[in-house]
Amino acid sequence: MKLHREGYLIIIIAMILLTTIQVGNFYLLQFTTWKWLFWLLTAGVLVMAYLVVQFFRVPNIICQFGENDIMCPADGKVVVIEEVEETEYFHDKRIQISIFMSPLNVHANFNPISGIIKYVKYHKGLFLVAWHPKSSTDNERSTVVTEHANGKEILFRQVAGAVARRICYYTQPNQKVTTGEEYGFIKFGSRIDLYLPLDSTINVKIGDIVKGRITKIGELK
């Protein structure tokens, strides 16, 4: 496991603040009759330190998928599987699969297929809760479209949540990418939407807990 580079500054700032709190806690409460409060605050500092560090963890995983497999791009829970009209790029019917990421999930995002990046766009927006039906179109988000070697294209979208305030992505048009390569990171609660061709095979169902670079979402025909 490693820590994501997007977390370095946040972790340093958090540790300075938490250390300052703990030092004040020690000198103000350790030698008083309020010792129970000292231990309570100490526990709170340790929990906060753990939560900040674990949020930016990136497990070491060997990605092994077939040529036409669609890999899960993020850890989380499948909350949507439905046929929808995709209005930003395809302007036709697609299968939307949405994965909700809680603050306890790994928040690095990975390319679900190998191919050539055909489209990248960032949208400023609102910060509705990530499971809100309009979060995919109204929230801060980024959209990436990758063309597979067989000519099929899939769209995947990072969507900010109520807590998330920054979406990071590292792809650009005409870039060649490989399944499982990291393409972005979302800071705090969020979701990923995938838009697949209607003839795609789907291997997950609503409510499934999925893992980035491990779970097979489906397969391109």
**pLDDT score for 138:** 72
User: Is residue 190 annotated as part of the catalytic site, yes or no?
Assistant: yes
The per-residue pLDDT for range 113-151, each reduced to its tens digit, is 999 999 999 998 776 665 555 656 677 899 999 999 999
From the candidate CATH numbers 3.40.190.10, 3.40.640.10, 3.30.43.10, 2.70.70.10, the one assigned to the domain spanning 69-219: 2.70.70.10
CB 38 within 8 A of CB 61: no
From the list 22, 74, 68, the residue with the least C-alpha distance to 184 is 74
For the ranges 65-69, 138-142, 203-207, the lowest mean pLDDT is seen at 138-142
pLDDT by residue (tens digit) across 8-59?
A: 999 999 999 999 999 999 989 888 888 899 999 999 999 999 989 988 999 9
C-alpha distances out from residue 37 to 22, 89, 140, 161, Å: 12, 55, 40, 34
Inter-residue contact 168 to 184 (CB < 8 Å): yes
pLDDT at 21: 95
Average pLDDT of span 64-87: 96
- Pick the catalytic residue from 98, 136, 142, 190: 190
Contacts of 221 (CB under 8 A, 6+ apart): 68, 152, 197, 199, 200, 201
Residue ranges covered by each domain of the chain = 2-58, 69-219
Residue 15: what are its φ and ψ, rounded to 5°?
Answer: -70, -35
pTM of the model: 0.86
Say which residue, 107 or 164, is predicted with more confidence: 107
Residue 167 CB-density burial (10 A; 0-12 exposed, 13-18 middle, 19+ buried):
buried
CA dihedral 151, 61, 14, 167 (to 10 degrees): 0
pLDDT exceeds cutoff 60 at 185: yes
Q: How would residue 161 be classed by pLDDT, with cut points 50, 70 and 90?
A: confident
Rg (CA), the chain: 20
Any idea what DSSP says for residue 38? H
